[in-house]
Amino acid sequence: MIYPDMDTTVKLNNLIGQAMDSCQFRGHSMGQWQKSQRSAYSNCLVCGGQASVKADPLPNGIGICGAALAIHCAGGRS
């Protein structure tokens, strides 16, 4: 667990905030986040790149991932 003493909803919101910072830095315009009990995802409204977060990833997993976090938006700001 990334934050073992923290509520799952708080964890998700923190991770979404971190993911949004990275997505915005790369010029993405993210849509509404789709949340489930322990995870969430969103797609860029311009290029379709996805970002996803997991509140409790497996020990060899990662809490934040997706193309929108790693590459710049194809139709984003220059």
- pLDDT exceeds cutoff 70 at 21: yes
What ranges do the domains of the chain cover?
8-70
Round to whole Å and give the CA distance between 20 and 6.
20
Global pTM? 0.84
44 touches 23 (CB < 8 A): yes
Give 43-76 pLDDT, tens digit per residue: 999 999 999 999 989 989 899 999 999 999 987 4
Instruction: Determine the pLDDT at residue 78.
Output: 44
Task: Name the band, by pLDDT with cuts 50, 70 and 90, for residue 9.
Answer: confident
Closest by alpha carbon to 17, among 30, 7, 6, 4?
30
Give 29-39 pLDDT, tens digit per residue: 999 999 998 99
